[in-house]
Structure 1
Amino acid sequence: MTKDGAQALVGELSPTEAYELLGDNPEAVLVDVRTRAEWGFVGVPDLAELGRSTVFVEWARFPDMSINPRFVAEMEEKLGAAKPSHYLFICRSGARSMGAAMAVADHLSRTGEPVPCINVAEGFEGDLDAAGHRGGLNGWKARGLAWRQS
């Protein structure tokens, strides 16, 4: 529940389901909430074949990983006049993006604009494998979805 008692619209989809939603719904938007360093060194989702681009806004700031107090405002600034039908949030493994999804759902509910906010489960790199590495077990990259180095 949000602070005003309204039900927050937060869901979760697999990376493949998220990509399908983005392909089927031109008003849906993908927000990558990782850090600038992650975008630069690990890569980013590539929505070019859908004729779209990802919105990049840091949820937490490197190096102390403090929550960005202007996250919602920065996201809205980058979207401009666009009114997405769905917000999809992605991070490294799905934890930070859930926090971002909840914050945006709460904000939208309080402003009278409840829009589904969806966490991309597994994130961009996914969970650690037995060797302690990410990127091969699950996640956007391991599922074979389009990505590129930025």
Structure 2
Amino acid sequence: MTEGYAGDLTPQQAWELLAAHDDAVLVDVRTTAEWAYVGVPDITCLGRETEFVEWVSFPDGSSNPHFVDDVREAGVTPGDGRPVVFLCRSGQRSISAAKAATAAGLGPAYNVLEGFEGGLDDAGHRGGGGWRAAGLPWKQS
């Protein structure tokens, strides 16, 4: 166990966990703008939908004071043992989300390393890492 949550997963490991556990939940904690303009992970081929719960709000970046309650509304309840996989843009906000879920008794809670888009490259661009770059299913509106 990583400090405060179940651990970090590569995007491929996250996919494998989601595929192996019918009760596992994928929670995308990015903002509404990121979901709309960048794209979202698509797990419909696994018979489930991605849950969308902002960790911070767009455009002001304020913390979501109802985050844990929103995750519960997505069907995750304390003590149910359902794996919860948190994903953000680059794997940073999702660490905090996994820690908050764990503190609330949800999970085991995991963080997806590199998130959806990965970190910045030498030119200051994202997209060379993460869920999309790993070739995992995603869609764009």
Which residue in the other structure is 1:88 paired with? Answer: 85
Deviations 1:95-142 (A, max 9, x none): 10100000010011xxxxx6311000100000111221111x210001
- In the TM superposition, residue 81 of structure 1 has moved relative to its aligned partner by 7.0
Which residue in the other structure is 2:17 paired with? Answer: 21
Q: Which has the larger radius of gyration?
A: 1
Which residue in the other structure is 2:101 paired with? Answer: 104
Q: Distance in 1 between matches of 2:120 and 2:98?
A: 23
TM-score by length of 2: 0.91
- Structure 1's unaligned 5+ residue stretches are 1-6, 109-113
Q: Quick one: which of 108, 112, 119 aligns to 2:111? A: 119
Partner SS state of residue 72, structure 1: helix
Which residue in the other structure is 2:140 paired with? Answer: 149
* Preserved CA contact (<8 Å) 1:60 1:67: yes
Change over 3 Å in CA distance of 1:66–1:91 after alignment to 2: same
* Preserved CA contact (<8 Å) 2:101 2:107: no
Q: Quick one: which of 27, 30, 33 aligns to 1:34? A: 30
Runs of 4+ that moved beyond 3 A:
80-84
Partner SS state of residue 58, structure 1: coil
Over the residues paired in the alignment, what is the CA RMSD in angstroms? Answer: 1.8
Identity %: 53
Q: Distance in 2 between matches of 1:77 and 1:149?
A: 24
- In the TM superposition, residue 80 of structure 1 has moved relative to its aligned partner by 6.8
Which residue in the other structure is 2:124 paired with? Answer: 132
Bigger mean CA offset, 76-85 vs 21-30? 76-85
Q: Distance in 2 between matches of 1:32 and 1:78?
A: 11
* Aligned pairs, number: 138
- The one-letter amino acid of 2:125's match is H
Partner SS state of residue 105, structure 1: helix
